Chain A
Amino acid sequence: MSENLQTSVREICRACNNDRARMMDIVLAVQAKYGCVSSEAMDTIAKAVSTHRVEVESVVSFYAFLSSRPKGKVVIRLCNDVIDRMHGADRVAETFRQELGIGFGETTPDGQISLEYTPCIGMCDQAPAALVNDVVVTELHRSTAQHIVREINRHMDPRRLVTRLGDGNNAHQLVQAMVNNNIRKAGPVIFAPSDLGAGLAKALAMSPAEVIRDIKTARLRGRGGAGFPTGMKWEFARGANDQNRYVVCNADEGEPGTFKDRVILTERPELLIEGMAIAGYAIGASEGIIYLRGEYAYLRAFLEHMLNECRNWGILGQNIGGKKGFHFDIRIQMGAGAYVCGEETALLSSCEGLRGDPKNRPPFPAQKGYQSHPTIVNNVETFCCVTRIMDKGAGAFAQLGSSGSPGTKLLSVSGDCRSQGVYEVEFGIKLRDVLKMVGGEDAGAVQVGGPSGRMVGPDEFDRPICYDHLATGGALMVFGPECNVVDIARQFMEFFVEESCGYCTPCRVGNVLLKERLEQILAGRGEREDLAYLQELGETIKTMSRCGLGQTSANPVLSTIQSFPAAYEALLKDTRTDGFRPTFDIGAALGEAQAIVGRRSVHFAD
Chain B
Amino acid sequence: MSETMTITIDGREIQARPGQTILEAAEAAGVYIPRLCYMKGLTPHGSCRVCTVLVNGRPQSACTQPATPGAVIENDTERLLALRRNIIEMLFVEGNHFCMFCEKSGNCELQALAYRFGIPAPMYPYLWPKREVDASHPDVMVDHNRCILCARCVRASRDLDGKNVFQFVNRNGHKRVAVNAEARLGDTDLKVTDKAVAACPVGALLKKRVGYAVPVGKRLYDHEPIGSDIAAAHKK
Contact = CB atoms under 8 A, between A and B. Distances in A.
A–B proximity contact (CB within 8 A): yes
A69 B170 CA distance: 13
Interface string B44-65: 1111111010000001010011
A580 B148 CA distance: 32
A363 to B, nearest CB: 9
Nearest to B90: A509
B120 interface: no
Interface in A56-105: 57-58, 61-62
Given A54-B167, A55-B164, A544 B49 contact: yes
A39 interface: yes
Contact of B170 (A39, A52, A62, A510): A62
Contacts of A501: 171-172, 175
Interface in A346-375: 355-356, 360, 362
B171 A500 contact: yes
A546 B170 contact: no
Interface string B67-87: 000000000000000110011
A413 B35 CA distance: 44
Given A504-B47, A505-B47, A58 B167 contact: yes
A360 B44 contact: yes
Given A506-B87, A546-B49, A338 B66 contact: no
A509 B66 contact: no
Contact of A58 (B169, B173, B182): B169
B175 to A, nearest CB: 3
Nearest to B182: A39
A63 B201 CA distance: 29
Interface residues of A, number: 40
Contacts of B52: 543-544
A545 B48 CA distance: 9
Nearest to A499: B172
Nearest to A537: B86
B77 to A, nearest CB: 12
A53 B173 contact: no
Contact of A61 (B66, B125, B166, B171): B171
Given A505-B49, A544-B52, A583 B125 contact: yes
Contacts of A516: 125
B79 to A, nearest CB: 9
A54 B87 contact: no
B124 interface: yes
A536 B174 CA distance: 24
A544 B86 CA distance: 10
A565 B96 CA distance: 35
A516 B125 CA distance: 9
Contacts of B182: 39
Contact of B172 (A58, A497, A539, A540): A497
Most A CB contacts (10 A, CB to CB) among B50, B52, B59, B175 go to B175
Contacts of B226: none
Nearest to B92: A509
A505 B122 CA distance: 15
Contacts of A506: 49, 86-87, 90
B169 A546 contact: no
A594 B87 CA distance: 37
A152 interface: no
B7 interface: no
A293 interface: no
Nearest to B175: A502
A118 B182 CA distance: 28
B127 interface: yes
A52 B83 contact: no
Given A62-B171, A360-B44, A508-B94, 12 more contacts: A54-B164, A58-B167, A58-B168, A362-B66, A497-B173, A501-B171, A505-B50, A505-B149, A506-B90, A509-B93, A543-B52, A546-B47
Interface of A: 39, 52-55, 57-58, 61-62, 338, 340, 355-356, 360, 362, 497-506, 508-510, 512-513, 516, 536-537, 539-540, 543-546, 583
Q: Which 9 A-B pairs have the closest CB atoms?
A: A502-B175, A509-B90, A54-B180, A61-B169, A54-B167, A52-B164, A540-B86, A360-B64, A544-B49
